[in-house]
Chain A
Amino acid sequence: MTLEIIIPLRNPTEVLDKSIESLIAQTDRNFSVLISDNHSTKGQEYIGRARDRLAQSGIAVRKIEPPAELERVEHWNWAHYQSSGDWLKPLFVGDWLEPGYVARIHEIVAAYALCRFIHCNYRLYQHGVQKPKASSPSRWSGRFYTAAEMQDVVLRHGMQFGPPSGVAYERTIFLALGGYSPVLPITADCLLFCSMAAQFGAVAIPEPLLNFNIHANRFSTHLPQIRRETLQETHTFLFALAYHAWTENVRIPLLGFLRLLLRTFRSYLAER
């Protein structure tokens, strides 16, 4: 199995160094790196340095650029389509992996023949907040959960998979689902990961092997200012998931789903 780590970036800052360091520190070096630069106008020195350091450490690295500048989510998709690994793992600038991450992915893929989507717990580092926060351990870790089981999980609990840097997936399922939805720029990852889990099953790694860094330049830093759009997008993707379950003749946990919708609405009102 080959694993490719995809780093889509634009105008990176020094936080890229931390991500690259974490790749060099992996105990299992059986992976390659694809850096996709969306026509950066600054920060080229960090990209050049990342490339050199990976190559010097014996990690295969490719740098690519789309034919023209793309929107943020479009660029993620384009970068994924240029990849060549059997498995793909997005890693966003500033996030970093614990040294055992890649080894753990290889271990899980070898252990579960049907596994096509892996998510791991993470520690959250928020801009301006000193202490990291660990995500609560997943309710469904420890074994391979089938598509039918995960269908129920996503319809009751919604997004359970953390940020894109916390997941790895088989290239085939990314291609089959088409990718991230550019018209849902806030929740594109939620829809894709919930669909992956609900259509192909999932394995969760209970240990926090990812450090999710909401640094100053990150899109997520602006989420508190766009709560209304977030709510609209969240409801759209949840309805799409429920509708898909209905078309597939899957029993929808109606009460659980309604509770989920209400929860999202309540948290919107509370944060307002």
Chain B
Amino acid sequence: MSSSWLEIIMPVRNPGTKLLETGASLAAQTDRDFGILLSDNHSTTGQDMMEQFHHEMASAGISVRQVKPPYALGRVQHWNWAHAEGRAEWLKPLFVGDLLLPLYVERLRQRIQIKSGAQIVRCDFQMRKGDKISATSVPFQQTSLTPAEFLKYYPLLGNWIGGPINMAYRRAAWQAAGGYSTQLPGCADLRLNAMLAMRRGLEVIHEPLAVFQLHEQRFSHGIGKRRVNGCFELWLILRELRTYCLKASLPWPQGGLGRGLRLQMKLDYWDPFKQRIKKILLGS
């Protein structure tokens, strides 16, 4: 593979110190044969952070290309635009504050070398919220899923696919899929990942290789107070996928929409409600 086989796509706007943490995780990769595309969506602050980021990556021997859209774009619009600027055969989105564990690039390369037809690769990841760390993994043992096998586990077993943090995409597959959906700001990543896996299958690395940090600057932080409804977005996504599957003769699981939605509602409403009750009872 050439030195440009992988490009890490980093869309940023007004980055804080978290950008440097992300940079340090890239500098610590055991395989540094990749490039970084830093896309700045017309930041008004954080230029010093970006300069320092460039400096640190240069010291680690990692090339960084900085780009800027012609005018300020919306959050998801900017992700799409940044991905479209990618030139490498493989693209890996990485958001400010998220980390790649040192073996990420090495393991991804190994998998792509073994499975030359791979189009999207998922790895396990950790989720950090303050001091709390939780691990996410997939509810099956296989390392490769065909579209039909993917539909055996999704959506019946809930959202185990994850977001951009644990995904890498072949550029041609990403482009053909039409990017992240700007209409669904809360679940745009889930829609893209599910759609791609359903069309092209999925490679799975059963090893936590990335860290998702729920820091303060993040969209997902305090998402409950934003005008976003995860359940409604999921309903639209599952409806789309189901219609498509039925038309394309793919084996959409019976009751998939209802079950997927129930699991999401449990996460979004029932679990927080139980926690609140628990807090009130313990408090009293």
Which A residues are within 8 Å of any B CB, using their own CB? 66-68, 70-71, 73-75, 77-78, 81, 172, 175-185, 188, 191, 195, 199, 226, 229, 232-233, 236, 239-241, 243-244, 246-249
18 inter-chain pairs at a CB distance below 8 angstroms, sorted by A residue, are A71-B176, A73-B178, A74-B178, A77-B177, A78-B176, A175-B80, A175-B84, A176-B74, A177-B179, A178-B80, A178-B178, A179-B178, A183-B195, A185-B247, A229-B247, A232-B243, A240-B236, A243-B229
Instruction: Please measure, in the bound complex, the distance between the C-alpha atom of A6 and the C-alpha atom of B139, giving whole angstroms.
Output: 43
| Residues of A contacting B: mostly | helix
Q: Are A181 and B181 in contact (CB under 8 A)?
A: yes
Measured CA separation A226–B246 after assembly (Å):
12
The one of B176, B227, B229 in contact with A77, judged by C-beta atoms closer than 8 angstroms, is B176
Given contacts A176-B81, A195-B182, A247-B228, contact A236 B177 (CB under 8 A): no
Contacting pair A172 B181 (CB below 8 A): no
The yes or no answer to B184 lying at the interface (CB within 8 A) is yes
> Number of contact residues on B: which range applies?
35 or more
A226–B243 Cα distance when bound, in Å, is 12
The yes or no answer to B95 lying at the interface (CB within 8 A) is no
A243 close to B233 (CB less than 8 A) = yes
Q: How far is the CB of A242 from chain B (nearest CB, A)?
A: 9
A172 touches B172 (CB 8 A): no
Residues on B with C-beta less than 8 A from A233 are 240, 243
Q: Which B residues have a C-beta under 8 Å from some C-beta of A?
A: 69-71, 73-74, 77-78, 80-81, 84, 172, 175-185, 195, 199, 226-229, 232-233, 236, 239-241, 243-244, 247
Specify the chain B residue showing the minimal Cβ separation from A241.
B183
Residues from chain B with a CB closer than 8 A to the CB of A195 are 182-183
Within the complex, the shortest CB–CB distance from B60 to chain A, in Å, comes to 30
> What is the predominant secondary structure among interface residues of chain B facing chain A?
helix
- In whole Å, how far is A116's beta carbon from the nearest beta carbon of chain B? 10
Q: Give Cα distance in the complex from A177 to B240, angstroms.
A: 18
Partner pick for A178 among B179, B185, B228, B241, CB 8 A cutoff: B179
In the complex the two chains form, what is the Cα distance from A67 to B241 in whole Å? 25
Report, nearest first, the 7 A-B pairs whose CB atoms are least far apart: A178-B179, A179-B178, A74-B176, A176-B77, A175-B84, A244-B183, A240-B183
